[in-house]
């Protein structure tokens, strides 16, 4: 046997390998052209219909809890943009995908390859068809940006970019937790859906509409309000609720990665369990 030690693999190599794995996914998906085109359009239509319904009814009411269409579009678009980017990147950890890999045995195949496990899972379920949703979400954000009464500064842009980054990490963390739970039980999948998809819908609208205790729960217990609601409030020049200071609007890039780091710690526990039971 060779004598080479197990030095950490160079980051550049891992990145290249990740993109090679994504490339394989993309080529595989493009084999079925019609199915791909239909799926891509349908993916956008599902989100599109939901927002369209909101846009169509808003004129009858004038505003949503004091928020104009443009302002809601900014909030809604940012949440959707972050969620779909996350969905693209973390698809391999999504509970249904991961449990399918475990059941089919391809998860053991990952373990038999000399590459860090997360790189392989990240590279395993890249749903290219969701790109249409990215475009749609970006369009909604752009509409929002054009309609709100804000003198845009570099700080605002950085704040919102950080907000998206934080949301990607936050929801990515939820996906990792959900996927890890399937090492124990598959029944937990629907429970995680409340957190992931429910959380996404929750932060798509201004938190002020949910009533005091719900808003406080999602500020201090589950820090979802920091993700996009506070940054957008700040950009719109409105004070944060509950007497929170202005800098709290910039915490999204901290909150998200913290959850993600905790999620990966849990992931390692799950993988250790897999090594104990083999299923």
Partner 1 sequence: MIEVEHLHKSFQTRSGGLLRGQRRTVEAVRDVSFRVARGEVVGYLGPNGAGKSTTIKVLTGLLVPTSGRVEVGGLVPWRDRRRYVGRLGAVFGQRTTLWWDLPVRDSLDLLRDVYRVPPDRFRENLKAFTALLDLGPFLGTPARALSLGQRMRADLAAALLHDPDLLFLDEPTVGLDVVARERIRQFVAHVNAEREVTVLLTTHDLTDVERLARRVMIIDHGALLYDGNLPDLQARFGSARELVVDFEAPPADPRVPGLKLVSSEGPRVTYAFTGAAARPIALATAHAPVRDVTVREPDIEATIRRIYEGGLLGTVS
Partner 2 sequence: MNAALLRWGLLGQAAGINARLYCAAARLSFRRQFAYPAATFWGLLTNLFFGALRVAVLLALFGLKPQVAGYTPADAVTYTGLTQAFLAAFSLFGWYDLMRTVHRGEIVTELLRPHSFLGFWMAQDAGRAAAQFLLRGVTILTLYALLWGLKLPEGAAGWGLTLLSAGLAWACGFAFRFLVNGAAFWSPDAVGIGRFAWALMGLACGFLMPLAFFPAWFQSLLAWTPFPSMMNSTVELWLGHVSGTQVLRVLGVQAAWTLVLLGLARLVLARGLRRLEVAGG
Task: Please say whether the beta carbons of 102 and 183 come within 8 A.
Answer: yes
**Comparison of 35 and 111: residue with beta carbon closer to partner 2:** 35
Task: Please say whether the beta carbons of 259 and 176 come within 8 A.
Answer: no
Neighbours of 53 (CB within 10 A): 10
Of positions 9, 15, 42, 261, contacts partner 2 by CB under 8 A: 42
Range list of H helices, the chain:
11-30, 33-61, 69-90, 95-104, 106-111, 117-122, 131-147, 154-181, 189-202, 212-216, 229-235, 252-277
d(CA 273, CA 275): 5
Give, as ranges, the residues between 7 and 26 that touch partner 1 (CB under 8 A). 9, 13, 16-17, 20-21, 24
Of positions 70, 89, 96, 116, contacts partner 1 by CB under 8 A: 116
Give, as ranges, the residues between 148 and 187 that touch partner 2 (CB under 8 A). 187
Which of 262, 196, 247 is CA-nearest to residue 224?
196
From 93-101, 163-171, 202-210, 217-225, give the range in contact with partner 2 by CB under 8 A.
202-210
Of positions 59, 211, 243, 276, contacts partner 1 by CB under 8 A: 276
| Tokens 């780091």 sit on residue | 261
Give, as ranges, the residues between 114 and 153 that touch partner 2 (CB under 8 A). none
Of positions 42, 78, 104, 152, contacts partner 1 by CB under 8 A: 104
**Comparison of 69 and 248: residue with beta carbon closer to partner 2:** 69
Strand, coil or helix: 67: strand
The nearest distance, CB 235 to partner 2, in angstroms, is 21
Strand, coil or helix: 212: helix
Contacted by 45, from partner 2, partner 1, none: CB < 5 to 8 Å by type: partner 2
**Comparison of 96 and 116: residue with beta carbon closer to partner 1:** 116
d(CA 55, CA 140): 11
Neighbours of 100 (CB within 10 A): 14
Chain residues that interact with partner 2, rule: CB under 8 A: 32, 34-35, 37-39, 41-43, 45-46, 48-50, 52-54, 56-61, 63-65, 187, 190-191, 193-194, 198, 201-202, 205-206, 208-211, 214
Q: Which residues bind partner 1 (CB under 8 A)?
A: 1-2, 4-6, 9, 13, 16-17, 20-21, 24, 27-29, 31, 104-106, 108-109, 111-116, 185, 275-278
């Amino acid at each position: 046997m060779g004598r080479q030690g197990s030095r950490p693999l160079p980051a550049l190599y891992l990145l290249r390998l990740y993109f090679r794995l994504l490339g394989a996914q993309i080529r595989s998906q493009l084999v079925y052209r019609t199915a791909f085109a239909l799926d891509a359009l349908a993916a956008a239509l599902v989100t599109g219909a939901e927002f369209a319904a909101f846009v169509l009814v808003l004129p009858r009411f004038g505003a949503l809890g004091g928020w104009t269409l443009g302002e809601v579009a900014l909030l809604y678009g940012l949440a959707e943009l972050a969620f779909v980017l996350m969905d693209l990147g973390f698809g391999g950890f999504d509970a249904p995908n991961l449990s399918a890999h475990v059941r089919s045995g391809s998860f053991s195949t990952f373990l038999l390859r000399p590459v860090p496990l997360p790189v392989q899972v990240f590279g395993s379920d890249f749903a290219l068809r969701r790109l249409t949703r990215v475009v749609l979400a970006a369009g909604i954000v752009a509409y929002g940006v054009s309609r709100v009464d804000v003198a845009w500064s570099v700080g605002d842009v950085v704040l919102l970019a950080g907000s998206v980054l934080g949301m990607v990490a936050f929801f990515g963390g939820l996906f990792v937790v959900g996927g890890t739970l399937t090492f124990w039980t598959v029944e937990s999948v629907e429970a995680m859906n409340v957190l992931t998809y429910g959380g996404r819908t929750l932060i798509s609208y201004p938190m002020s509409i949910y009533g005091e205790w719900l808003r406080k729960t999602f500020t201090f217990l589950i820090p979802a309000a920091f993700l996009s609601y506070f940054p957008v409030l700040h950009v719109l020049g409105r004070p944060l609720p509950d007497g929170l200071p202005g800098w709290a609007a910039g915490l999204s890039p901290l909150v998200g990665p913290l959850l993600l780091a905790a999620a990966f710690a849990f992931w390692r526990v799950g993988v250790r369990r897999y090594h104990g039971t083999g299923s």
